[in-house]
């Protein structure tokens, strides 16, 4: 079964819109885990517009299954991760001004930098995943720098899925095969939803983990958080 990690950035955005602590982030994370999710993902950004750095220690206390911290490995981010020891760190090359992540790493150009960062995390017992576009050269680069896993950036799949699912998934199937050949673990994320997740799982059954936030929270407004988590878990079986 592919594991479901729920990204709670949007919960933090809602909290920050009014100040205070409603909704309470740690309580929501506990509910999500109790509803059956396999883990919690957060993506703290330098401007802290949703997840704040001071949220991480409190979440670390309550996330008892798998905690995944993703982000651009700046010095403050690296220090945050090393201090809180998540089960997984996902390296994402997002610029501070980006509204959301919009590309994977060029693991060839940034080989030296990524090698140093990955080595530091792995020496501290933290599984490291690198966010990449579905390109075999970038996956090979992730292997060379020492990553444990790659996370395929699935926005293009999600955008093209409604018109032609087979065509949309094709580059991802090819990339997933390369991931296996390079003996890496495979994660996936970005714009995955109840509409497109089952087909992704069917075509690439060995995905270890998907990270889903925006769509899941939006779907929960209509269908309820517990119900939506159960729906995802069934589609990922």
Q: What is the pLDDT of residues 61-79, one digit of tens each?
A: 999 999 999 999 999 999 9
Whether residue 171 is predicted with pLDDT greater than 90 in this model: the reply is yes
Percent of residues in the chain assigned helix, strand, coil, to nearest 5: 45, 15, 35
Global pTM reads: 0.95
Bridge partners (DSSP) listed for residue 58: none
> Average pLDDT in the 38-58 region?
95
Residue 27 has pLDDT above 70, yes or no: yes
> Tokens 């790493």 appear where?
105
- Known catalytic residue at 190: yes
The whole-number pLDDT of residue 165 equals: 98
The residue ranges of every structural domain in the chain are 3-235
* Residue 43 annotated as catalytic: yes
Catalytically annotated residue among 70, 151, 209, 219: 70
Q: 16 phi and psi, to 5 degrees?
A: -70, -25
- Return mean pLDDT, the chain: 96
Residue range 215-229: mean pLDDT, rounded:
98
- Which position among 66, 151, 190, 219 bears the catalytic label? 190
Residue among 43, 66, 209, 219 flagged as catalytic: 43
Answer yes or no: is pLDDT of 103 > 90: no
Percent of the chain exceeding pLDDT 90 equals: 93
CATH 3.20.20.70: does it fit domain 3-235?
yes
Q: Which residues pair with 121 in a beta bridge?
A: none
**In the prediction, which pLDDT does 98 show?**
55
Q: How far apart are CA 188 and CA 209, in angstroms?
A: 7
- If you ran DSSP here, which 8-state letter would residue 213 be given? -
């Amino acid at each position: 079964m592919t594991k479901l990690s729920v990204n709670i950035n949007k919960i933090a955005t809602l909290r920050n819109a009014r100040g205070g602590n409603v909704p309470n982030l740690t309580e929501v994370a506990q509910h999500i885990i109790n509803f059956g999710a396999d883990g919690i993902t957060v993506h703290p950004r330098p401007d802290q517009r949703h997840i704040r750095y001071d949220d991480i220690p409190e979440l670390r206390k309550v996330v008892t299954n798998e905690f995944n911290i993703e982000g651009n490995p700046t010095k403050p981010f690296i220090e945050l991760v090393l201090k809180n020891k998540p089960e997984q760190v996902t390296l994402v090359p997002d610029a501070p001004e980006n509204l959301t992540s919009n590309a994977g790493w060029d693991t060839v150009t940034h080989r030296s930098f990524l090698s140093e960062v990955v080595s530091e995390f792995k020496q501290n017992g933290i599984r490291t995943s690198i966010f990449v576009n579905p390109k075999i050269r970038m996956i090979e680069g992730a292997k060379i720098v020492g990553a444990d896993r790659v996370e395929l950036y699935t926005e293009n799949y999600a955008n093209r899925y409604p018109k032609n699912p087979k065509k949309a998934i094709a580059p991802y199937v090819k990339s997933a095969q390369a991931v296996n050949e390079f003996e890496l673990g495979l994660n996936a994320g970005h714009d995955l939803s109840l509409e497109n997740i089952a087909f992704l799982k069917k075509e690439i059954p060995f995905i270890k983990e998907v990270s889903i936030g925006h769509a899941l929270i939006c779907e929960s407004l209509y269908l309820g958080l517990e119900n939506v988590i159960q729906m995802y878990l069934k589609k990922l079986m």
